[in-house]
Amino acid sequence: MAKPIVDGLEKDLEGKAQVHRFDVLSRIGRQAAAHYGARGVPTLLVVDGNGQLVLSQVGIVRPGAVRDKVDELLAQ
């Protein structure tokens, strides 16, 4: 269910932001989840250019909210 949303965000944000996907069953996915405190699946994390978590959303996300947050970060 979340894959089409993330696919769309990846396309919409191309050239503006990087989109990374992590499988929480993989070693790197578990490390990322632990580092950023992800507690549910799916979890969408928006991290700024300094590596600081600026948005954490558990469950299915509203794509417009993610685009708005990325645009806000880019405007800073």
CATH code, 43: 3.40.30.10
Residue in the block written with tokens 């909210």? 65
Task: In whole angstroms, give the CA distance from residue 19 to residue 5.
Answer: 12
Contact assessment for residue 19 and residue 10, using Cβ atoms and an 8 Å cutoff: yes
- Evaluate the CA torsion angle 50, 51, 55, 60 in order and state its sign: positive
Q: Is 33 exposed, middle or buried (0-12, 13-18, 19+ CB in 10 A)?
A: middle
Output the pLDDT for position 56.
Answer: 87
Domain encompassing residue 71: 2-75
- If one counts the domains in the chain, the total is 1
pLDDT per position as a tens digit, 3-54? 888 888 888 888 888 888 889 899 999 999 999 999 898 888 888 888 888 8
Q: How many CB atoms lie within 10 A of CB 38?
A: 20
